[in-house]
Structure 1
Amino acid sequence: MPSEEFVRGMLYLSLTVVGVPGNIAVILAFLLLLYQEKLLLPADAIVLHLACANLLVVGVRCLLETLASFHLADIFGDVGCKAVIFIYRTSRSLSIWLTFVLSAYQSLSFAPPGSRWATIRAMVAHYLGFVFLFLWLLTTNMSVAAILFSFSTQNDSSLINHGINVQFCYVHFPSKLSKQANGAAQVTRDVVPMALMTVASLIILVLLYKHSRQVKGIRNSNAGSGRSGRAEQRAAKAVVALVTLYVVLYGVDNGLWVYTLTVRRTMTSSLISDLRIFFSSLYAALSPVVIIVSNRKVNGRLRCAVQEKPIQEKTTSLSPT
């Protein structure tokens, strides 16, 4: 096995090992919460949906890239390339927009009761299912080009003009203009929520600072309010951490994507595409770690699930035979 393929396989394997169990753990924790309490708060529902989208990103892209790099499976034919790239782009875009929705919803949580912003937050919570449906439709429609222009590497190389080499597949555009138009649409799709979530995070930081000063005296006199305020701040800080992680990693990803659009060669190097996929998938792999560490509902239920198993085993061993 060439050293380049081995390194690529190990990088994707590291993302798979971290991202797949991490996102599954977050999903199971919220499903357990839903089973126990029969209801999920809107913010919890958004995080659950985000974990599902990130699981698709890591599972469909990184896991399959790992198998292909180590020659354990050959699924990158024409149909496989179209399916993998379409699902990857859809779930990746969905992850981006859900991160924005989470940051925007969290920033609205600081709105005073009865204000216009509090009313908007209530409307978002009420119609959250429609928000999810709209995002699925939006991201799916913006990924249609993957079905039209994705082919396996087994195609005639003479057909690959104005294309993008993604190692096991080619994204072939019929003209330079179509390539640049599709690239501009993808950059816009990423930059718009990036800008919006950055603004929302800055609002959260400003409100956190003001809120901490306003409730300082209340916390000293009311322990219950103090606990509520601290929980609210932890949730807000977790959202800011997710947004910061996103902006850094997807900033690198989009910088590499702009390079592929402006490079003069007709076919960009697979190394650039590998780096893009790695950095964009890194968010999907690391975000569940941030969620597990910062979200008490998640790590509390995971600890209970881990501790419950040894207790059950001990009870079984002490039971009479």
Structure 2
Amino acid sequence: MQSEVFVRGMLYLSLTVVGVPGNAAVIWAFLHQLHQEKRLLPADAIVLHLASVNLLVVAVRCLLETLASFHLASVFGDTGCRAVIFVYRTSRSLSIWLTFSLSAYQCLSIAPPGSRWTSARTLAARYLGCIFVFLWVLNTCMSSAAILFSLARQNDSALVSHGINVQFCYVRFPSKLSKEANGAAQVGRDVVPMTLMAVASLILLLFLYKHSRQVKGLRSGGGAGSRGGAEHRAAKVVVALVTLYVVLYGVDNGLWVYTLTIKKTMRSSLISDLRIFFSSLYAALSPLVIIASNRKVNGRLRCATQEKPVQDKATALSTL
């Protein structure tokens, strides 16, 4: 095995080892809450949806890339390449838009009671299912080019100039114009939610700063302190996720723009590998941020780990 392929496989293996259990744990925690309480808060539903999409990103792309790198499985024929790239692009863009949805809803949640933003929050909560469907349809349509242009990798002599090498597959565009148009659409699809979530996070931080100053003298009284503490914890989660998104997807989109501007990008898959790694890194690391900062998820996972030894002990005693 070539050292380059081995390193590549180890990088994707690290994302798989971190991302699959992390997202699965978040999904289990909220499904367990849904089973017990028969409902989820809108913000929790968004996080559950985000973790599900991130799990899809890691499982479909990173896990399959790991298996192919170590020659454990081969799914990258023409049909396999189209399916993997299509699902990966769709779930990746959904992850971005759901992160924006989370930051926007959290921003609406701290609006003063009786304001027009409170009505917007109520509408968003009521039609959250419709928002999810709209995002799925939008991102599925924008990723449809992967079905048309993705093929299994062939010899370098067979590759065309207007294409992108992604190691086991390549995306072959019919012309330079179609390649640049597709690239511009992907950049726009990422930049729009990135800008919106950055604005929402800034509004959130400014409001919390103003609110903390207003209630500073009332913290020793009653519920103001606990409410302010909860708001600050929610703000930290949003800021952490948005910062993680901006850094990793900023690198990803920078590499994508570079790919569109240089010639002969089909000869090496290094740039594409780096793009996939950085964009998948968000899907692998975001559940760690959620587990560390979300008390509901953290509490349920702790209860699960504490209940297991008790159950094992009870089983052992029953066999005596």
**Structure-2-length-normalised TM-score:** 0.97
Partner of 1:269: 268
User: Secondary structure in 2 aligned to 1:164?
Assistant: strand
The answer as to whether partners of 2:259 and 2:265 remain within 8 angstroms in 1 is no
Cα distance, 1:268 vs. partner? 5.7
Cα distance, 1:93 vs. partner? 0.3
Partner of 1:25: 25
Please give the alpha-carbon distance, in whole angstroms, between the structure 2 residues aligned to 1:86 and 1:168.
14
Partner of 1:254: 253
Partner of 1:205: 205
Cα distance, 1:154 vs. partner? 3.0
Instruction: Flag the 1:60–1:245 CA change in 2: closer, same or farther, 3 A.
Output: same
The answer as to whether partners of 1:151 and 1:172 remain within 8 angstroms in 2 is yes
Partner of 1:10: 10
Partner of 2:130: 130
Percentage identity across aligned positions? Answer: 78
The answer as to whether partners of 1:43 and 1:102 remain within 8 angstroms in 2 is yes
Counterpart of 2:28, as a letter, is L
Counterpart of 1:226, as a letter, is G
Please give the alpha-carbon distance, in whole angstroms, between the structure 2 residues aligned to 1:31 and 1:266.
44
Which range moves more in the overlay, 285-294 or 200-209?
200-209
For residues 252-304 of structure 1, give each alpha carbon's deviation from its aligned partner in whole angstroms, at most 9, with x where no partner exists. 00000000000022626300000000000000000000000000000100000
Please give the alpha-carbon distance, in whole angstroms, between the structure 2 residues aligned to 1:155 and 1:138.
35
Instruction: Flag the 1:320–1:144 CA change in 2: closer, same or farther, 3 A.
Output: closer
Matches within 5 A, 1:18-57: 18-57=18-57
The answer as to whether partners of 1:260 and 1:268 remain within 8 angstroms in 2 is no
Aligned pair count? 320
1:307 aligns with 2:303: no
Matches within 5 A, 1:135-154: 135-154=135-154
Partner of 2:106: 106
Matches within 5 A, 1:76-95: 76-95=76-95
Cα distance, 1:216 vs. partner? 1.9
Runs of 4+ deviating beyond 4 Å? none
User: Secondary structure in 2 aligned to 1:192?
Assistant: helix
Instruction: Flag the 1:163–1:298 CA change in 2: closer, same or farther, 3 A.
Output: same
Matches within 5 A, 1:180-219: 180-219=180-219
Partner of 2:287: 288
**Structure-1-length-normalised TM-score:** 0.97
Partner of 1:237: 236
For residues 25-50 of structure 1, give each alpha carbon's deviation from its aligned partner in whole angstroms, at most 9, with x where no partner exists. 00000001111111100000000000
The answer as to whether partners of 1:161 and 1:174 remain within 8 angstroms in 2 is no
Please give the alpha-carbon distance, in whole angstroms, between the structure 1 residues aligned to 2:147 and 2:15.
25
Please give the alpha-carbon distance, in whole angstroms, between the structure 1 residues aligned to 2:157 and 2:124.
49
Which range moves more in the overlay, 19-28 or 210-219?
210-219
5+ residue gaps, structure 2: none
Cα distance, 1:110 vs. partner? 1.6
